[in-house]
Structure 1
């Protein structure tokens, strides 16, 4: 490896680092960084800051900066070369060899914080020893362009600094990789890593001799001097940029994030094309701090309802942790959270107004998620009020299409049952309240529209559906004996009049029964069980189902007339009606809801018996 021979021109000075590093490399390699390849990011960051430092301190230097990363797979060597400020011999001792002290941090503290400098903790160079068994640094400072220096160390604790012939101003860091990281010397691997971490850096980064930088284009939110794009061109460019970062889905439409008073974050958000359900969480947010990728899974910055959103943002004020792979949850973090939420709400409204085709795709892909999102913000609710669709007995329809007779009806049960059968007979659509966010959305929708919401299965909902009436006690007893199977029989008037009887589960009584089941006690937490029982304690012991008898139905009226006249076939007619009751009660109900196959068989048999008895009597 002649290229890496130490071309020194004087005696080497052996020194020890400015801190005891015993155990620190283990912390860096195994605990501070989630993956060792982050070390490459740290070294490129140092090269980037060196270029900015040179521009700050050498105003006459007008050349284009360059960072070059070369891989030598045959020998397991990686080189990071920059045309930045370089280092003097004293700066090598002060900044390369002293943990926790960095020149960049000093510049930022001196007032250069707005220049795009990245370094913060003075740990970046030390990360080289996570990857390398030996690190060599050849450098020439712009302050002493006639002098060159060579730093060499194998463990970061002890190092040598030797004079060497001057080279072009800048720095070359040579990593002789540990065998376990030798694959990182492949230039294709280096390109993949640095294209991800350095996509937003302003200084061009080249892999090997490739003339194309891995970061050739600025992001859409950075205006290019002298370039004005038509809105359609801008949309296309934004979608192309988003596609580079969206791991799983095609972006449908993009939304800008602009800086504000409380948040300096800028970037791009987009709606994913993959279909989602209410609780799907495909949030995908990459956060760049001063142009360097810090966290590509910062989903917690996005609002919880935004499970269909991706994005890329950058900020100079977000504070990274020591590993620079996560963010500190401080006031700036929460300000960015708020800014992202506002940008999403404004952005969705903008798409609805300006991109109708994209808006239709968004509604088709994410209807259920948007149904829940509309409950999180009044502006979202207003935006989606007339657009989201509700699952119902008539398919997915807009809330306005559920209105019937001045009311909207919703089934609270998941098993179909009497409500769906009843409304199918009436020809009235009924919403499926067991589906995600349907009930709370319809409650708000009904309030906004001044429409009555009937929640079927509740006491209030049943009162709206069935207008109860009275019968003499003796008649009730006869009907209970001939029609009942333990239900509470209630004479009533309801539609359609063609329906003679309806069996209605008492949801409150069902809840009380389930909570008092010993097996359920084992599955419900003590605190939740205590709260639930405070509610069910107010429910008196009563039949788990109610039998509503339709006094407007011709068959029921004929039965009552026969009973009052003591007609010999009244009992047979009642038995026939009872069988109809059992069959109707079985509609959409599971066996554990009280209608077993044996009950149905007996009901069918009862119909045959009643018909035969009535025919024989004639």
Structure 2
């Protein structure tokens, strides 16, 4: 019975739906249709070289446009098509002669097409497509194909032409600008920059791809290094639209089938600025002009052009498949950049100085990405500090490097008095860079504001509980009071924010819950669980300071007599603290100044204080 046997049927193709996919989802820009047509012309020329015993001596592709007529023509000297090939390849979705050649092993390093969709993209921008073609197999016959949608088409005999094909598009009105020859030259000059077949625009005498890239030139090995660098920079400038390249770094990884050129941009980078740009060519055709993820994440100052036949495009041929070849290319490009920078430092000191000047902050982060980079940069990059930008070696004093984790404040006050520079640990990559630096070059890293760092700065002491309670009452504003000895002795007390407690509060807040993934948040809270966040700051009272010693001596005999001096010291503390956190400190600063003035009056003889008060009263404006 019929129901007892499975029936094999041919699936239909809804070209209307497919055109929607092509026009709205697969291709990001209508320019891709021009690329696909030039690519088809290129593959036809490669095919003719492989199959025709007498191919043309000078193969070429000519792209011409007429904005008034809204037409674009792509003419090639390739194989041309017979009527059977038009039916089999041109008019059948997903079937392409190029793929068959590649599978047979012929011209696999040069043929570009893969999916049999390229010709169909013409209907995304054209309301009518006409093809005139003559095959090298039937040089006396010509054919004319015409279609308005790619689904229905007419095919008729036509006068024979020169062997090859002319594809003519009548553009939709919204795409008429694509017919401008200046526009075509600019677009195809980028898309086709590495094609071996010359591409001419209209009647132009020079192709848009006039010279091979530096790594393909057979005479490159005989050039003087200065001339080679100039040619590399000239090539890089064609692709670097925003910046001037400072230097060029060759990429050559035959084991990964990867060749190309990287460069360092002259535009300054700050912190983790990301100006990476990388153009990827596959078999000579631009595939992706924003393949920045192939560059290492630390190289925010780098651009490049590479080509490979191993990298696999997606169906749109506007992106790359993230496969093993992609990951191998990432590794090879990173290696070329690291090795190239090291060679640059040795051989081109002037260019190296320009790179260091423009990309100092970015290079701080880059140094953390690879041990070789760290060794290269450890003595070169400059660290932002309270004394300006200094190399790490200049920050080390008496075997220690001091780094502040906040934006200035008490750290500046303390170390200005000591004459010691403080690195800005809140700036991009500074803290992890310095941690690695002291591991490799010796010394101590004192992270001010952390418990461990504070122990190295402030030697804690003990006091009787009664004295400790009295000091807390007269000097503290919620800080944890800690009697200590520290330099300089001239500094009576210092309020030190607990940077670890600040981190704990930030990361455990509701806002952090929204910004950080649950997995990361669990790890963070595992770290912050061991941090005592009960005190926002510690108030270190310097027992080496004469004023503190006198204050304690007086308080032991007569606490009331010591109160004015204590109030003055507290106001000084508040005044110093008001500079460490700028936001919302106006009232606190005003209160500290008022307290200093009042304390000074209380310390003066009663008669002098009374006169000053009377004068102030007299100077008040009358109602």
Say if 2:295 is the partner of 1:302: yes
Deviation at 1:26, TM superposition (A): 2.3
Deviation at 1:557, TM superposition (A): 3.0
Instruction: From 149, 152, 156, give the equivalent of 2:146.
Output: 152
Q: Equivalent residues in 2 for 1:191-590 (5 A)? A: 191-225=185-219, 228-261=222-255, 263-414=256-407, 416-510=408-502, 534-539=526-531, 542-564=534-556, 569-590=561-582
Q: Which residue of 2 aligns with 1:47?
A: 41
Q: Equivalent residues in 2 for 1:39-118 (5 A)? A: 39-61=33-55, 63-118=57-112
Question: Aligned partners of 1:268, 1:329: CA distance in 2, in Å?
Answer: 21
Question: Aligned partners of 2:606, 2:395: CA distance in 1, in Å?
Answer: 43
Deviation at 1:77, TM superposition (A): 1.9
Question: Aligned partners of 1:226, 1:301: CA distance in 2, in Å?
Answer: 26
Question: Aligned partners of 1:404, 1:202: CA distance in 2, in Å?
Answer: 60
Instruction: From 5, 20, 27, give the equivalent of 1:33.
Output: 27
Deviation at 1:371, TM superposition (A): 0.8
Contact 2:109 2:309 in 1 (8 A): no
Q: Which residue of 2 aligns with 1:135?
A: 129
Deviation at 1:614, TM superposition (A): 8.6
Deviation at 1:227, TM superposition (A): 7.9
Question: Aligned partners of 1:614, 1:515: CA distance in 2, in Å?
Answer: 53
Q: Which residue of 2 aligns with 1:13?
A: none
Range that drifts further, 74-83 or 519-528:
519-528
Contact 1:468 1:492 in 2 (8 A): yes
Question: Aligned partners of 1:305, 1:134: CA distance in 2, in Å?
Answer: 48
Deviation at 1:42, TM superposition (A): 0.9
Q: Equivalent residue of 1:212, what SS?
A: coil
What is the TM-score with the length of structure 1 in the denominator? Answer: 0.90
Question: Aligned partners of 1:39, 1:342: CA distance in 2, in Å?
Answer: 35
Contact 2:474 2:570 in 1 (8 A): yes
Q: Which residue of 2 aligns with 1:169?
A: 163
Question: Aligned partners of 2:180, 2:513: CA distance in 1, in Å?
Answer: 60
Cα 1:323/1:570, change in 2 over 3 Å: closer
Contact 2:575 2:593 in 1 (8 A): no
Q: Equivalent residue of 1:319, what SS?
A: coil
Deviation at 1:252, TM superposition (A): 0.9
Greater RCO (Cα-Cα under 8 Å, separation 6 or more) = 1
Q: Equivalent residue of 1:380, what SS?
A: helix
Q: Equivalent residue of 1:23, what SS?
A: helix
Deviation at 1:51, TM superposition (A): 1.2
Deviations 1:232-273 (A, max 9, x none): 111111111111111211111111111232x21211111111
Q: Equivalent residue of 1:317, what SS?
A: coil
Instruction: From 590, 594, 604, give the equivalent of 1:612.
Output: 604
Cα 1:222/1:552, change in 2 over 3 Å: same
Contact 1:19 1:98 in 2 (8 A): no
Question: Aligned partners of 1:226, 1:586: CA distance in 2, in Å?
Answer: 64
Question: Aligned partners of 1:231, 1:130: CA distance in 2, in Å?
Answer: 47
Question: Aligned partners of 1:155, 1:363: CA distance in 2, in Å?
Answer: 56
Contact 2:578 2:589 in 1 (8 A): no
Contact 1:407 1:452 in 2 (8 A): yes
Deviations 1:287-344 (A, max 9, x none): 1111111111111111111111111111111111111111111111111111111111
Question: Aligned partners of 1:468, 1:594: CA distance in 2, in Å?
Answer: 32
Deviation at 1:91, TM superposition (A): 1.4
Contact 1:52 1:115 in 2 (8 A): no
Deviation at 1:143, TM superposition (A): 1.7
Question: Aligned partners of 2:217, 2:533: CA distance in 1, in Å?
Answer: 72
In structure 2, list runs of 5 or more residues that go unmatched. Answer: 1-11, 610-623
Cα 1:318/1:495, change in 2 over 3 Å: same
Range that drifts further, 537-546 or 212-221:
537-546
In structure 1, list runs of 5 or more residues that go unmatched. Answer: 1-17
Q: Equivalent residue of 2:106, what SS?
A: helix
Contact 1:421 1:587 in 2 (8 A): no
Deviations 1:111-169 (A, max 9, x none): 12444111111112222222222222222222222222222222222223222332221
Deviations 1:161-195 (A, max 9, x none): 22233222111112222222233222222212211
Range that drifts further, 176-185 or 88-97:
176-185
Question: Aligned partners of 1:523, 1:144: CA distance in 2, in Å?
Answer: 67
Deviation at 1:505, TM superposition (A): 2.3
RMSD (Å), alpha carbons: 2.7
Contact 1:586 1:595 in 2 (8 A): no
Question: Aligned partners of 2:522, 2:179: CA distance in 1, in Å?
Answer: 62
Question: Aligned partners of 1:291, 1:405: CA distance in 2, in Å?
Answer: 59
Q: Which residue of 1 aligns with 2:618?
A: none
Question: Aligned partners of 1:291, 1:285: CA distance in 2, in Å?
Answer: 15
Matched pairs, number: 598
Cα 1:515/1:62, change in 2 over 3 Å: closer
Deviation at 1:502, TM superposition (A): 1.4
